[in-house]
Each structure stands twice: as structure tokens, then as C-alpha cells.
Amino acid sequence: MDVVGRALLILALGVAIFGSFAGLAAARGVGPAGLLPAARRAVFAVLGLSLGAFVLLEIAFIQNDFHYTVVAGHASLTTPLGYRIAAPWASQEGSLLLWLTLLALTSTIAIRSLRGRMREIEPYAIAVLLLLAAFFAALLVFAAKPFATTAIAPDDGVGLSPLLRYPTMMIHPPLLYSGYTLFAVPFAFGLGALAAGRLSGDWIVHTRRYALIAWLLLGTGIVLGSRWSYAELGWGGYWAWDPVENASLMPWLTATAFLHTIVVQERRGLLKTWNISLVLATGLLCLLGTFLVRSGILSSIHAFGASTVGPPFLALIGTLLALSIWLVIKRRKMLEPEGEIATLSRESAFLLGNLALIVLVVVIMWGTFFPIISEVFAGDRSAVSTVWFSQYAMPSAFAIVALSGLAPLLPWGRGRWGAFGRATLLPLAVSLVVLGITVAAAGTDSPAALLMAWICAFTIVSVGREFWIGARARRALTGDAPLKALGGAIGGNRRRYGGYLVHAGLAMTLLAVAASTAFDTTRQRPLAAGERLQLAGGRELEFVRPTAEIILDRNDRVERIEFGAVMRVWRDGKPAETLEPRHDFYPSIASFRFGPVGRFFEGEETSEIALRSQPQRDLWVAVTPDSDAIVARAKKVDAGFKELVSSQQLGVDVQAALLAKSLQGIVDQHLAANPPVIVRAIDAPGVFWVWIGAGLMGLGGILAASQASVARSRQRAAALARVGQELGRA
């Protein structure tokens, strides 16, 4: 199977290289007439070959075939089947193969959906897509080899990192990669449009939905990653401005800017340079994000560590960046706008929003790469803090949310100040009331949070006003009931109202972020059994007793050993609820190093938090037992175990029984000792609404993606009008 897998990847590399050159030759009018169809078939062939290779790798993981180096490094006999299925994309090799497969899939869909359109742009786009496919195939053939094998397979593998054994992590990476690869389609067609000199709206019409779905998938992946960080990593937050987090956020922000200004180009023929530059920047930032995860140049809990694929990625990004800049400069006259943007218009709001988004991307990029910059110029690698990121990202966030509320109140073309002032009266009045309530309830300790509350309230009311106006107009025309009229208005213009939902979801998310970071309460200290920790709102958290348990897999092998605590929440002097956070020990396969008993306490450790999420506030609790004492006890038992086995010459079955008894003895001793634990409790208001706001943004994205572009809708409307005229004449 390993030979077949390697052969499939080598074939994919050869076919991608051939197809890329065939597409380029067809674009330049060089060679026989059949080159373009051959390039199309090359795209389809790469999909079949890469998909076949990925299926073979999945089979190896499912079967725990430890002959494969990658399987031995990321699966084990105690890894559950579901996580073994997801384990390929936890590895460098498997994730690159998934990237290639998804890229081939999205390329196939994009090319097949052309249906004879954009003949001048298509061959260039195929050449770019297959160039990217050839790059990833080359990495899999020469650098990160997923089908590398060992002469002697180990009895067991290292296993999937316990930190990744979380449900959303099974789909978080594929969603991110799907977003990255879908962005390759607008990137390729943008380069193709520049190269062919065909910069009308056709390429935007074709790629807009790909960009929107990519934006949606990437955003969903980011949110799921945040949820994993909040519920699994044990530090109590959902965003840490980690380099890899930032790497996924930057292309999402530039794509957000692009999705706004393509509407301006479709309607008014403006901002062509902005759009093509944003498309190219988004594609390059997707590659940059992939590079950061795999190069090891920046420290991150999400990264795969140091590897040999970093330099090739830099070479690819540098080449494509130079090509993009050269083509934009070459076609600058074709990108000139067809008119001007009025000061008071929706176009100007979109443009200002774009500027705020780009400033935010620049801030994030500077902070992310500051360790490298400081090392180059000062000789000392130092990183900026999360406070720095929050401080410098805040002005852009304020501007983005404010413009999200102002844009719906402005007309296309040119507005009037009087009409604009009347439109802002209701949102402004309600937001000021919300601000007053917030000041009365929370005080003025965080002016930034209060300002965000005011702006977010303005945006939410502004968006709600647009839904009300649409429903009222629909009801006046049809006489429908209010809810039916609202549904009809939304269904008739899904793209518009989907965008409004995204704006409302963004405001809700940032409002929740401001509340949860500005007004949270964190407590941490050791607690003995019976002691209590004071929480916000007069509540208390009591450490009742420790817990400990050995968890076995289906084959009665030790999967992990849990040491936790029973915690009771008291409210108004009465017990309200019970929480059971824990700290888990996973075994190491290096029994020769740590001993047959000690290895069960020398592998990875995870903190499994207890979380109670409610609309008004979240209670997040983590406990840490005295790990040093547990490991010391295990070493002592291990020494006795080894001595007994050696002196008595015990058989294998007897040794297994004695090992189980030794582990159970450690657990029982821990429970009998009733030791104190370190408790960390976070009482944060509003976190619940972070996820609700993100869900609202996703719903808006789905709604907007379900409708064709403005240009295509106009084309259909014009065609129907012509048919009507012909029928009238008949």
C-alpha cells in the first residue's frame, strides 16, 4: 500500500506540472489546439490521484498500521477510532495531503462550473491552480512523505496529542484548509484576469460565491478553534493572539474587505484596483498561514514545529507576490475607476471599512512577525504581549463596527445629510439608552468596553431598522402578516439581508468580547477539602473532595488516569450545582525510560475544565493536583514493582495483574490522602454571546451565498425583460 501511495503522489506531481504548462501554453496560443482540454483533464486527474492517496493514508490510520512513520507518530492502540480518522490532519504529512486533495476538489468544481465562459482567463487560472497543486505534491514526494515506512514496526504508537482529542478539532482543520483552498480559486482567476487583460466583472461574478463560501468556512474554523482553546487548553480564554490564530484571521479580514467592495464594482464599476489587490492579498495570506503552521519560525501551540518545508513555502510566496505586483502595475490603466465616490454614500462607507480592515491586518502582521523583526534588527527575539495586540487593534475594531451600522443607513450613489440624520435618530437614541444602562450596571472602570457597547448597540439597532423597513414595505405590497412579510423581504434579497445579519453578528460578538474581557473575575488559590473560594455576585465555590479513576479503552488498555475534584457552587447560602473538573495523565510509550509504572504518569497532561455556560455569564473552573507528588509516588511504586518482578521472576500475566494493582494503589493512596488542589475559577459575563454572534454571522454568510451575484441577477432580469418584450410583440 505504501508503494501505491507514493506512486499516486508522484503521478499527481507529474500530471500537475504537465497541466500547468499546458494551461499556460494554451493561454499564450502556443502548441496544438487540444492543450486546454488536456489541462482541464489534468485538474480532474490530480483530484483522483490525491484522493486515492488520502484514502490509503486514512486506511493506514484506521488499521493502526505502525509500519508508517506518520501513523506511529500520531496514532496508538488506545486512540479511539474517531480520533484516528482525524489524526492524519494532525500531522505535517497528512495535513499537506489534505490540502492538496481539497485544492484539487475546489479546482475541479471551479473549472467544471465555467461552462464555456471566460475562455481567455480559464487557461491562466488552470495554470495557477495546477502550479499550487504541483507545489504541494512536490512537498509530499520529496519533503513531508506520508507513506514513509520503518523496517520494524513498533508495538504501539505515540498517539494523538490529548489536547487534540476534542470533538471540534475533528473538523476545525478541514474547515480551515477548505477555506484556504477555496480562496485559491479567486486568487487564480484574479491572476488570470490580469494576465489576460480581461478585467471586466466576469471573473468577479464567477468567483464571488467561492470567496463567500471560503470566508464562511474559514470563519467557522476560526470560531471552532477559539471554542477548543476556551474549553480545552486550560488557560481560560478563547483568543490569545497566537501566531497561527493570527495567520488564519488575516486572510479572513482581507476577504471580508473584498466581499464588501466587489458589490461596489458590480454596481458602479469602482474600486477595481482594491478588489484585485484584495483577492491577491487574501490568496497570499492563505499561503502565509499555511507556511507559519509548518515552518517553525514562530512559537505556537498550533504549529507542527520545525520542518524542512519552510524555505519552499517562502520561495512560492515570494514568487507569487512579485508576479502579483508586476501584473497589477502592468494593468493599472485597465483598473482605473469608471466614476467617483461621493462623500456621503454607501460606497464611501465600504471604502472606509476596507481601510479599517487593512489597518487591522497590518497591526496583526506587525505584532505576529515582531519576534523575527526584533531578532534581525536588535539581535534579540522578543514578542509583543496580548495587551499590545488588544490596544492597537481596538481603534480598527471600533471603526469597523461603527461603519457596519452606518453603511445600511446610507444610499448608493449620493446621499443627503438631512435624510441620513433622520435615519440615524432611532439607532442613536437606543444606543445612548443602552450606554446609560451599561454605565449604571457596570460602572466606568473600562471606558473602551463602554464605548464598544454604545457602538455595537447602534449597529444592532441600525440593522434591525433595515429589517423592519423591508418587512413594512413587503407588507404594504402584499398585505401579508408581519412575520410572513419579513420572510418574503429576506427571501427576495438574501444577499442584502444576509450581509445585515453578518453585521449584527459581528456587533454582538465584539460586544460580548468587550464584556467578557473587561468585567470578568478570576480567582486562583490552593483549596483543601471543605474550603471555599469567593466568586462574583456573592457566590462561592467549595472543594468537596478529590476524585481519581483509571480509564480503560475497549481492549482494557489504560487510556488515561484522571485526578479531579468535586466542586460545589453555593448561591445565597444554598448549594446550586456541582462541577467536576479534572487533570488527566496520559501514558508514554517509553517504558524503558520511565519504567512500567512511571510511564503512565510521564506522558502528556491535560486540564479538563468544568464549564457552565449561561446567557448572563460563564463559570469556568480548572483544578491542578500536586503532580510532583503523584509522579514521585509512581516512581516509588515503580522501583518496588521492578524489584519484585526481578526477584520473583514473574510471568507476563502475573506482571500485568501486578501492574494493574500498582496503578490502582496509586489512585487509592491519592484518594485516601485527600490532598489540596489548586483551583482556578473565572466568572465571565457575556461569553455565551460570543458564540451566538458568531453563529449569526455564519447564518448571514449562508444566506448571502445562496443568492447569485448582483451582476448575474441583472443579466437574468434583462433576459426575462427581453423575453417579455418578444412575447408582447407576438
pLDDT for the residue 111: 94
User: Would you give the DSSP letter of residue 411?
Assistant: P
Confidence of residue 389 (pLDDT cuts 50, 70, 90): very high
pLDDT at residue 303 greater than cutoff 60: no
* Domain end point (choices 126, 160, 194): 160
User: Would you give the DSSP letter of residue 162?
Assistant: G
Give the total residue count for the chain: 730
CA pair distance 633, 667, nearest whole angstrom: 10
pLDDT at residue 347 greater than cutoff 50: yes
Among 93, 95, 5, 86, residue whose Cα is nearest residue 50 = 5
pLDDT digits (tens, 9 = 90+) for 666-714: 999 999 999 999 999 999 988 999 999 999 999 999 999 988 755 454 5
pLDDT for the residue 163: 85
CA pair distance 148, 94, nearest whole angstrom: 12
Among 503, 610, 520, residue whose Cα is nearest residue 231 = 610
Which strands make up the sheet holding 677-685, listed edge to edge? Answer: 521-527, 677-685, 617-624, 610-613
CA pair distance 498, 521, nearest whole angstrom: 36
What are the Cα distances from residue 417, in Å, to 142, 343, 405, 422? 63, 10, 16, 9
Confidence of residue 291 (pLDDT cuts 50, 70, 90): confident
pLDDT for the residue 569: 95
**In b/e form, how buried is each residue of 376-405, taking b as 16+ CB within 10 angstroms?**
eeeeeeebbeeeebeebbbebbbbbbbbbb
pLDDT for the residue 296: 66
pLDDT for the residue 586: 92
Q: Is 550 exposed, middle or buried (0-12, 13-18, 19+ CB in 10 A)?
A: middle
Among 361, 369, 86, 102, residue whose Cα is nearest residue 224 = 86
Q: Is residue 437 part of a domain?
A: no
pLDDT at residue 459 greater than cutoff 80: yes
pLDDT for the residue 726: 44
Break the chain down into helix, strand, coil percent, rounded to 5. Answer: 65, 10, 20
pLDDT for the residue 723: 38
Using H for helix, E for strand and C for coil, what is the string for 674-722? CCCEEEEEEEEECHHHHHHHHHHHHHHHHHHHCCCCHHHHHHHHHHHHH
482 contact partners, CB below 8 Å, separation of at least 6: 471, 475
pLDDT for the residue 696: 96
pLDDT at residue 348 greater than cutoff 70: yes
CA pair distance 249, 396, nearest whole angstrom: 14
Q: What is the mean pLDDT of residues 481-502?
A: 92
156 grid coordinates: 504501539
What's the N-to-C CA distance of the chain in angstroms? 67
Q: Is the dihedral of CA 643, 644, 647, 653 positive or negative?
A: negative
CA pair distance 371, 642, nearest whole angstrom: 48
Residue 587 domain boundaries:
529-675
Q: Is residue 302 part of a domain?
A: no
Confidence of residue 656 (pLDDT cuts 50, 70, 90): confident
Percent residues over pLDDT 70 in the chain: 95
Q: Is residue 474 part of a domain?
A: no
Amino acid (1-letter code) at residue 49 = L
* Domain end point (choices 652, 675, 698): 675
Radius of gyration of the chain (CA): 29
Among 49, 130, 128, 57, residue whose Cα is nearest residue 92 = 57
Question: Concatenated DSSP letters for 483-538?
Answer: HHHHHHHHHHTHHHHHHHHHHHHHHHHHHHHHHHHHS-EEEEEEE-TT-EEE-GGG
419 grid coordinates: 435624510
Question: How many DSSP H helices and E strands does the chain contain?
Answer: 22, 10
Confidence of residue 407 (pLDDT cuts 50, 70, 90): very high
pLDDT digits (tens, 9 = 90+) for 44-80: 999 999 999 999 999 999 999 999 999 999 999 888 8
Amino acid (1-letter code) at residue 657 = A
pLDDT digits (tens, 9 = 90+) for 118-130: 889 999 999 999 9
Q: Is 315 exposed, middle or buried (0-12, 13-18, 19+ CB in 10 A)?
A: exposed
pLDDT at residue 457 greater than cutoff 70: yes
Among 597, 565, 570, residue whose Cα is nearest residue 582 = 565
pLDDT for the residue 572: 85
User: Would you give the DSSP letter of residue 340?
Assistant: -
CA pair distance 269, 260, nearest whole angstrom: 13
**In b/e form, how buried is each residue of 427-449, taking b as 16+ CB within 10 angstroms?**
bbebbeebbeebeeebeeebebb
pLDDT for the residue 304: 58
Could you tell me the maximum CA-CA distance found in the chain, to the nearest angstrom?
107
Total structural domains in the chain?
A: 2
Confidence of residue 608 (pLDDT cuts 50, 70, 90): very high
Which residue in this structure is represented by grid cell 490603466? Answer: 333
Q: Is residue 80 part of a domain?
A: yes
Q: What is the mean pLDDT of residues 291-310?
A: 68
- Asked if residues 577 and 569 have their Cβ atoms less than 8 Å apart, the reply is yes
Q: Is the dihedral of CA 451, 456, 457, 461 positive or negative?
A: positive
pLDDT at residue 444 greater than cutoff 70: no
Q: Is residue 155 part of a domain?
A: yes
Q: Is residue 130 part of a domain?
A: yes
Mean pLDDT of the chain: 89
pLDDT digits (tens, 9 = 90+) for 553-587: 888 889 999 999 999 999 988 998 999 999 999 99
pLDDT for the residue 725: 45
On the CB side of 7, how many CA atoms lie within 13 Å of its CA?
4
CA pair distance 50, 56, nearest whole angstrom: 10
Q: Is residue 10 part of a domain?
A: yes
Among 584, 601, 581, residue whose Cα is nearest residue 593 = 601
Which residue in this structure is represented by grid cell 479531579? Answer: 564
141 grid coordinates: 514526494
Which helix (H) or strand (E) element contains residue 568? strand 558-571
- Asked if residues 249 and 176 have their Cβ atoms less than 8 Å apart, the reply is no
- Asked if residues 442 and 387 have their Cβ atoms less than 8 Å apart, the reply is no
Among 92, 135, 121, 127, residue whose Cα is nearest residue 107 = 127
Using H for helix, E for strand and C for coil, what is the string for 86-146? HHHHHCHHHHHHHHHHHHHHHHHHHHHCCCCCCCCCHHHHHHHHHHHHHHHHHHHHHCCCC
CA pair distance 342, 232, nearest whole angstrom: 49
Amino acid (1-letter code) at residue 252 = W
Q: Is residue 590 part of a domain?
A: yes
- Asked if residues 368 and 298 have their Cβ atoms less than 8 Å apart, the reply is yes
* Domain end point (choices 654, 675, 696): 675
**In b/e form, how buried is each residue of 343-371, taking b as 16+ CB within 10 angstroms?**
eebbbbbbbbbbbbbbbbbebbeebbbbb
